[in-house]
């Protein structure tokens, strides 16, 4: 196993997003030399799109020439909510294919020792037997609402295998469930469920208007706090050397309903006004549980942050950074 040792340069693409900022936080705040803290000789680089548009091969190569990364955590992606995914299928397909191809090929050309790319549970087939696990990625077409994003992400797993078989590269991938935390996208129209509801609840409190949640509140989801996910990426970087992906998630028994999410948000925001569900709006899939058995068997135990504690921290961050947050 090739761990990051003396003089490792770890490049995090998408280093300014929700997950990248969480990795930066963990590396800076965990005790030096500890399992998730910075190790001697490590240099961490958190790149944004302003350092180079990774859809373009030339700036991608220039980024690699500048930092000469020995390890890469590849997070950069065109990411969006359901509406944007449905409207811009080709853009999601093409931008993400280009970004992933440029990053993986530059990593191969620069003999990068290890690359961990980020997939998503959206890559799984629409019609599949639950729980999701790492062997089911390619067993049927993805949901048609986000097939552009899903196919581009699936291809990373195909590329990882091809780079390994033809060139012996140590490329792998991680599959997180729904992520939330500080530095998320809190846009009202185009965000994921937790940041969108936090913003909505905050506005309802400010404007003395009702807090209305679309749907019945009954669907169940697995949410992972970005700081926990960050630790799991750092673990993969140091301790996991296999091409096959790993689902990074809380357990199936830790699914949370949208109502539980909304209740926790109301409490954390301190909202005391009218709060109701708009049952005329669609609910989406009732549940789509993913198994974290592989992760737990490999990591040997991991303490996930309790949901309410993580949500409180996220709401606190949003309230303190309202003007700077992505809204």
Gap between the Cα atoms of 306 and 254, Å rounded: 10
Binding string to ligand NDP for residues 117 to 156, with x set by CB under 6 A, is what?
A: -x-x------------------------------------
Helix axes 57-67, 89-109, angle to 10 degrees: 40
Q: Which is nearer to ligand NDP, 117 or 170 (CB)?
A: 117
Tell me which stretch binds ligand NDP (CB under 6 A): 10-18, 82-90, 281-289, 317-325. Answer: 10-18
Instruction: Assess 79 for contact with ligand NDP (CB under 6 A).
Output: yes
Of 75-83, 208-216, 293-301, 311-319, which segment contacts ligand NDP by CB under 6 A? 75-83
Rounded CA-CA distance 22/129 in Å is: 32
The binder of ligand NDP chosen from 5, 29, 48, 309 (CB under 6 A): 48
Closer to ligand NDP by Cβ: residue 174 or 204: 174
Question: Which residues have C-beta within 8 Å of that of residue 23, sequence separation ≥ 6?
Answer: 12, 15, 44, 46, 73, 230, 233, 234
85 binds ligand NDP (CB under 6 A): no
Contacts of 84 (CB under 8 A, 6+ apart): 92, 190
In whole angstroms, the minimum distance from the beta carbon of 206 to ligand NDP comes to: 25
Part in contact with ligand NDP (CB under 6 A); list of ranges 8-16, 204-212, 266-274, 309-317: 8-16
Site membership for ligand NDP, residue 311 (CB under 6 A): no
Among 11, 19, 295, 315, binds ligand NDP (CB under 6 A): 19
Residue by residue, DSSP assigns 281-311 as: S----S---B--HHHHHHHT---PPPHHHHH
Alpha helices in the chain (DSSP H): 18-29, 57-67, 82-87, 89-109, 147-167, 193-207, 226-239, 258-269, 293-299, 307-320
Residue 26 backbone dihedrals phi, psi, to 5 degrees: -65, -45
Interatomic CA distance for residues 125 and 137, integer angstroms: 7
Nearest-approach distance from CB 137 to ligand NDP, in angstroms: 14
Sheet holding 246-248, edge to edge: 42-46, 8-13, 71-74, 114-118, 171-176, 246-248
Task: Determine if 182 is a binding residue for ligand NDP (CB under 6 A).
Answer: no
* Total site size for ligand NDP, rule CB under 6 A: 26
Q: In the set 192, 231, 238, 288, which binds ligand NDP (CB under 6 A)?
A: 192
Q: Which 3 state secondary structure label does DSSP give 221?
A: strand
- Nearer to ligand NDP by Cβ, of 39 and 55: the residue is 55
Nearer to ligand NDP, 120 or 159 (CB): 120
Rule CB under 6 A: which of 49-68 touch ligand NDP? Answer: 49-50, 53-55
* CB-based contacts of 91, cutoff 8 Å, min separation 6: 78, 148
Identify whether 275 is a catalytic site residue.
Answer: no
252 touches ligand NDP by CB under 6 A: no
- Identify the bridge partners of residue 116 per DSSP, sorted by sequence position: 73, 172
- Between helix 258-269 and helix 193-207 the angle, nearest 10°, is 40
**Using the rule CB under 6 A, which residue among 4, 10, 18, 261 binds ligand NDP?**
18
Nearest distance in Å: CB 76, ligand NDP:
4
Is residue 133 a contact partner of residue 291, using CB atoms and an 8 Å limit?
Answer: yes
Told to check if 104 binds ligand NDP by CB under 6 A, we report no
Active site residues: 149
**Interacting residue ranges for ligand NDP, rule: CB under 6 A:** 14-20, 48-50, 53-55, 75-79, 99, 118, 120, 176, 178-179, 185, 192
């Amino acid at each position: 196993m090739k761990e990051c040792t003396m003089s490792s340069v770890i490049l995090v693409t998408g280093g300014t997003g929700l997950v990248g900022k969480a990795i930066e936080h963990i590396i800076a705040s965990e005790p030096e030399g500890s399992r998730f803290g910075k190790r001697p000789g490590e240099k961490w680089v958190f790149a944004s799109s302003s350092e180079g548009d990774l859809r373009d091969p030339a700036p991608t190569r220039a980024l690699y020439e500048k930092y000469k990364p020995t390890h890469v955590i590849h997070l950069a992606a065109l990411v969006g909510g359901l509406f944007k995914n449905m409207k811009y299928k080709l853009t999601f397909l093409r931008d993400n294919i280009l970004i992933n191809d440029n990053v993986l090929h530059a990593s191969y050309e620069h003999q990068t020792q290890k690359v961990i790319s980020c997939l998503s549970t959206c890559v799984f087939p629409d019609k599949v037997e639950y729980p999701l696990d790492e062997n089911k990625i390619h067993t049927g077409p993805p949901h048609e609402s986000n097939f552009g994003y899903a196919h581009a992400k699936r291809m990373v797993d195909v590329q990882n295998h091809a780079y390994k078989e033809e060139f012996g590269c140590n490329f792998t991938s991680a599959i997180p469930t729904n992520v939330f935390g500080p530095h998320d996208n809190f846009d009202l129209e185009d965000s994921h469920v937790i940041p969108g509801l936090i913003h909505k609840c905050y506005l309802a409190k400010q404007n003395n208007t009702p807090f209305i949640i679309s749907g019945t509140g009954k669907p169940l989801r697995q949410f992972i706090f970005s700081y926990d996910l960050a630790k799991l990426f750092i673990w993969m970087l140091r301790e996991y050397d296999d091409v096959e992906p790993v689902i990074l998630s809380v357990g199936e028994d830790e699914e949370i309903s949208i109502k539980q999410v909304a209740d926790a948000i109301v409490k954390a925001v301190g909202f005391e006004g009218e709060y109701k569900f708009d049952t005329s709006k669609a609910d989406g899939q009732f549940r789509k549980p993913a198994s974290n058995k592989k992760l737990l068997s490999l990591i040997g135990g991991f303490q996930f942050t309790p949901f309410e504690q993580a949500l409180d921290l996220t709401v606190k961050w949003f309230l303190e950074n309202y003007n700077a947050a992505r809204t």
